[in-house]
A and B are shown apart, each in its own frame.
Chain A
């Protein structure tokens, strides 16, 4: 499908070159003396952990930030972009990780809004269709953005850039929201663009993708440029080591326990959609076994947050008996009562849901432990208990803190995530339910969190991981189920699944017949792909 690797033509001058670029924020140096080149038609990766300085660097290219020292050359001439308009006028387009689309407007309207006023709007739908065909980007100009999948929304963003004929397209972590199939489609488009001479700067920390798509990578770590490598000649492990700086010990896939007892059971859970942009849950059935990690895969917006709310008890329906722990019906219990029953939860959003940025770490420790004995006496919070608990979690989970009891907002994303996951695991729950445990977290922290979840299961607890990251699902799960438009598939043993079968379930294909084996599933996949 993808014919990767457009090689650079060293003969031609670089499209964009940066020399000695440095950018500091107060005492913190985000980029230190970075040199960079990208050639016309090159697929170039910018690789680094969270906080390595990737975003700062591309923001300087795009004119959103100004370098403290160093300069850029554009097509051989020194240039300075003081804002994104100038960068776009020169021919640089950028697709952000978080889209900026108006859900209630159509595709054409959204695109028209982003274009400069002098751009002729009359023939826009036609122009969009023409570009669609040219680059193989299927797009329905008159559909509402709210009705589009995330992959389609991303195409709208790409189209916005393409209409201005860029010579450099910057893509910020574009695949984090896509299914494997959508990722392949995106790569096809990017390869096509590169063939037509447009350079693509691809920001990612997913090594497989980088090897597959790009020919060269600039690797950043802690604000420094560590290396510029040929991605053909390096293994993913080598790339990872360059990125992280230490040897990565791959976590071992867990061994599935046999005939483990069920800890929690959900039967026929349904939930109507709250609004036009919410997903209804339809007849969810789910069993959590002791010692087992159940992965729930699915693309964002297919009911993950609705399911999570129903699991934590933040949403409670009127159905009785749908949610049982052992013999006990807990479907009407609130989150604190469910926690007292041995459940623990980590919602996807760290800021303002799993943790409160404006509160101290001890207060955040209290958030999910106030119902425990000793935390509160006669209505008065036991400050020592909360502080000690926060210290214990921080020590166990290697949470790096600027001071003993900082505001949660003072921690980096990875450290805060280690804290909120650790906070739940430290309570030794019987059932841990985690949504997106390593979202926006650096590789080191992600490994740590995954290992902690696997260890918890190995100790006899049950773990449910809701994640959009397939790599993660495969790394931790014994069984995998897929959430699609509010319906949950049967849980299949992880060994029988591969990215293709999951991709099919994610796309809504039904292979729910229990008698079908993985072999027929993958055959079907191959047929589909071939057809």
Chain B
């Protein structure tokens, strides 16, 4: 039998070597799979990793793809650091999009440059409230926040579906489930880089994603309330002994992560779509869970992890378009990549130790000791 044992210290060489090995193994296994399925492995890997980075506009698109992942991932880091398992960011994202959409559709003549910030606030309130539901149920009735937040995702998706087909549908949409388009003041402008101009779809939301991740890091690393979150996650008894409230903490992290997911939803719609439709997200709320863990629950690392995951997503799209590789195959490849990265990360912190098997009959004490 093998067990994972925490390493006493992690040598620097290991930290540097492991990601390289993980990516090499991914390329090897991915290449084998592509080859086995009859695609040219070198070409496929090129489409996956190099093509998305080969043109400046593609880099812009990569950043756009990473934007919601970074914002939601940062919020999820707060939850997971506090040992609160919010799996429902996708639903909170949808509610955020609806909250902002309600404001945009209510004021079709809005002109103020501040309108977009009002929409951000509406999105964060809506997403935060949606996140508060599992928190409230957990505090009041000790329900499991994993189940409640996950189930609320489906509620949110159906709510959006209904509202764009029903009450909020644009009468001029020829029967399509679409709302009116937002006023210009409700759209996020493209980011024009000095000397370069537009970079693909790059928009101002990306800048805020980086700022949010940096603020999230400062909050967790330096602020008393961040200390409280970590404390409650690491040692809830010590947290109560310090004088913090577990209920307050649970509520706080779920509202924060809900609000950030809501903001990401608003940015997605206002920057890329311009109106509400039945689908506003490509599963960002779920993918961000992987991002948060890949970043080892560090908001600064969330930026890197968000970019890596976005690259895999984008590469998958590219490979589908240019080589006709089926979506399921690119999905498998993305899975291998994430598996290798997470396994490598785990093996950096833990070592695999072989333990001698002990015969069946033993007391629990001895099991503990051995």
Q: Which residues of A contact B366 (CB under 8 A)?
A: 64, 84, 100
Q: Assess the B358–A85 pair: CB atoms within 8 A.
A: yes
Task: Say whether, besides A381-B222, A381-B223, A336 and B243 are in contact (CB < 8 Å).
Answer: yes
Interface assignment of A516: CB less than 8 Å from any CB of chain B: no
Whose C-beta in chain B lies nearest to the C-beta of A312?
B241
Q: Which residues of B contact A113 (CB under 8 A)?
A: 363
Tell me the residues in window 334-370 of chain B with beta carbons closer than 8 Å to chain A beta carbons: 356, 358-366, 368-370
Interface string of B234-251 (1 = CB under 8 A from A): 110110111111000000
Interface assignment of B12: CB less than 8 Å from any CB of chain A: no
Q: Which residues of A contact B356 (CB under 8 A)?
A: 82-83
Interface assignment of A199: CB less than 8 Å from any CB of chain B: no
Task: Say whether, besides A339-B243, A347-B241, A64 and B363 are in contact (CB < 8 Å).
Answer: no
Q: Which residues of B contact A314 (CB under 8 A)?
A: 237, 240-241
User: Contacting B227 at CB < 8 Å: which of A114, A160, A347, A363?
Assistant: A363
Interface assignment of B328: CB less than 8 Å from any CB of chain A: no
Q: Assess the B365–A100 pair: CB atoms within 8 A.
A: yes
Tell me the residues in window 187-242 of chain B with beta carbons closer than 8 Å to chain A beta carbons: 222-225, 227, 230-231, 234-235, 237-238, 240-242
Interface size class of A (residues with CB under 8 A): 35 or more
Interface assignment of A334: CB less than 8 Å from any CB of chain B: yes
Interface assignment of A117: CB less than 8 Å from any CB of chain B: yes
Interface assignment of A116: CB less than 8 Å from any CB of chain B: yes
Interface assignment of A467: CB less than 8 Å from any CB of chain B: no
Interface size class of B (residues with CB under 8 A): 20 to 34
Q: Which residues of B contact A490 (CB under 8 A)?
A: none
Q: Which residues of B contact A347 (CB under 8 A)?
A: 241
Q: Complex formed: what's the CA distance from A505 to B225 in Å?
A: 45
Whose C-beta in chain A lies nearest to the C-beta of B243?
A336
CB distance from A206 to the nearest CB of B (A): 22
User: Contacting A380 at CB < 8 Å: which of B224, B363, B365, B370?
Assistant: B224
Task: Say whether, besides A379-B223, A381-B223, A367 and B365 are in contact (CB < 8 Å).
Answer: no
Interface string of B293-314 (1 = CB under 8 A from A): 0000000000000000000000
CB distance from A386 to the nearest CB of B (A): 10
Q: Assess the A345–B241 pair: CB atoms within 8 A.
A: yes
Q: Complex formed: what's the CA distance from A59 to B361 in Å?
A: 18
Q: Assess the A368–B242 pair: CB atoms within 8 A.
A: yes
Interface string of A149-161 (1 = CB under 8 A from B): 0000000000010
CB distance from B80 to the nearest CB of A (A): 15
Whose C-beta in chain B lies nearest to the C-beta of A353?
B237
Count: A-B pairs, CB below 8 Å: 99
Interface assignment of A371: CB less than 8 Å from any CB of chain B: yes
Whose C-beta in chain B lies nearest to the C-beta of A386?
B227
Interface assignment of A354: CB less than 8 Å from any CB of chain B: yes
User: Contacting B360 at CB < 8 Å: which of A117, A354, A370, A379?
Assistant: A117
Interface string of B37-65 (1 = CB under 8 A from A): 00000000000000000000000000000
Interface assignment of B8: CB less than 8 Å from any CB of chain A: yes
Q: Which residues of B contact A99 (CB under 8 A)?
A: 365
Q: Assess the B370–A353 pair: CB atoms within 8 A.
A: no
Q: Complex formed: what's the CA distance from A314 to B244 in Å?
A: 9
Task: Say whether, besides A26-B8, A85-B359, A356 and B234 are in contact (CB < 8 Å).
Answer: yes
Whose C-beta in chain B lies nearest to the C-beta of A82?
B356
Tell me the residues in window 310-333 of chain A with beta carbons closer than 8 Å to chain B beta carbons: 312-314
Q: Which residues of A contact B238 (CB under 8 A)?
A: 352-356, 367
Interface assignment of A96: CB less than 8 Å from any CB of chain B: yes
Majority DSSP secondary structure for residues of A touching B: loop
Majority DSSP secondary structure for residues of B touching A: helix
Q: Which residues of B contact A355 (CB under 8 A)?
A: 238
CB distance from B20 to the nearest CB of A (A): 28
Interface assignment of A495: CB less than 8 Å from any CB of chain B: no
Q: Assess the A85–B369 pair: CB atoms within 8 A.
A: no
Interface string of A353-393 (1 = CB under 8 A from B): 11111110001001110110000100111010000000000
Q: Assess the B241–A335 pair: CB atoms within 8 A.
A: yes
Task: Say whether, besides A345-B241, A359-B234, A114 and B363 are in contact (CB < 8 Å).
Answer: yes
Whose C-beta in chain B lies nearest to the C-beta of A315?
B240
Interface assignment of A115: CB less than 8 Å from any CB of chain B: yes
Q: Assess the B227–A354 pair: CB atoms within 8 A.
A: no
CB distance from A443 to the nearest CB of B (A): 25
Task: Say whether, besides A83-B370, A85-B359, A380-B224, A96 and B365 are in contact (CB < 8 Å).
Answer: yes
Most chain-A CB neighbours within 10 Å: which of B8, B237, B245, B358? B237
Q: Complex formed: what's the CA distance from A314 to B243 in Å?
A: 7
CB distance from B182 to the nearest CB of A (A): 35
Q: Assess the A366–B227 pair: CB atoms within 8 A.
A: yes
Interface assignment of A337: CB less than 8 Å from any CB of chain B: yes
Q: Assess the A335–B237 pair: CB atoms within 8 A.
A: no
Task: Say whether, besides A59-B369, A367-B231, A370-B224, A352 and B364 are in contact (CB < 8 Å).
Answer: no
Q: Which residues of B contact A379 (CB under 8 A)?
A: 223-225
Q: Complex formed: what's the CA distance from A379 to B245 in Å?
A: 17
Task: Say whether, besides A347-B241, A381-B223, A353 and B235 are in contact (CB < 8 Å).
Answer: yes
CB distance from A271 to the nearest CB of B (A): 16
Q: Which residues of B contact A383 (CB under 8 A)?
A: 222
CB distance from A17 to the nearest CB of B (A): 23
Whose C-beta in chain A lies nearest to the C-beta of B370?
A64
Q: Complex formed: what's the CA distance from A117 to B363 in Å?
A: 12
Tell me the residues in window 97-151 of chain A with beta carbons closer than 8 Å to chain B beta carbons: 98-100, 102, 113-117
Q: Complex formed: what's the CA distance from A94 to B245 in Å?
A: 42
Whose C-beta in chain B lies nearest to the C-beta of A367?
B242
Whose C-beta in chain B lies nearest to the C-beta of A25?
B8
Most chain-B CB neighbours within 10 Å: which of A84, A160, A339, A355? A84
CB distance from A135 to the nearest CB of B (A): 20
Q: Which residues of A contact B362 (CB under 8 A)?
A: 84-85
Q: Complex formed: what's the CA distance from A96 to B230 in Å?
A: 34
Q: Complex formed: what's the CA distance from A366 to B222 in Å?
A: 12
User: Contacting B361 at CB < 8 Å: which of A102, A117, A337, A354?
Assistant: A117
CB distance from A67 to the nearest CB of B (A): 15
Q: Complex formed: what's the CA distance from A100 to B240 in Å?
A: 28
Tell me the residues in window 152-194 of chain A with beta carbons closer than 8 Å to chain B beta carbons: 160
CB distance from B46 to the nearest CB of A (A): 43
Q: Complex formed: what's the CA distance from A355 to B241 in Å?
A: 10
Whose C-beta in chain B lies nearest to the C-beta of A116?
B361
Task: Say whether, besides A335-B243, A367-B242, A352 and B223 are in contact (CB < 8 Å).
Answer: no
Q: Assess the A335–B240 pair: CB atoms within 8 A.
A: yes
Q: Which residues of A contact B369 (CB under 8 A)?
A: 59, 64, 84, 96
Q: Assess the A100–B243 pair: CB atoms within 8 A.
A: no
Q: Which residues of A contact B359 (CB under 8 A)?
A: 83, 85
Q: Complex formed: what's the CA distance from A437 to B166 in Å?
A: 67
Q: Complex formed: what's the CA distance from A336 to B360 in Å?
A: 49
Q: Complex formed: what's the CA distance from A102 to B241 in Å?
A: 29
Q: Assess the A356–B224 pair: CB atoms within 8 A.
A: no
Q: Complex formed: what's the CA distance from A349 to B224 in Å?
A: 24
Most chain-A CB neighbours within 10 Å: which of B222, B363, B369? B363
Q: Which residues of A contact B234 (CB under 8 A)?
A: 356, 358-359
**6 other contacts beyond A357-B235, A381-B223, with CB at 8 A cut-off?**
A85-B362, A116-B361, A312-B241, A314-B237, A353-B235, A379-B223
- Give 6 A-B contacts (CB < 8 Å), ordered by A residue: A83-B358, A84-B369, A353-B235, A353-B241, A380-B222, A381-B224
Q: List residues of chain B with CB under 8 Å of any chain A CB.
A: 8, 222-225, 227, 230-231, 234-235, 237-238, 240-245, 356, 358-366, 368-370
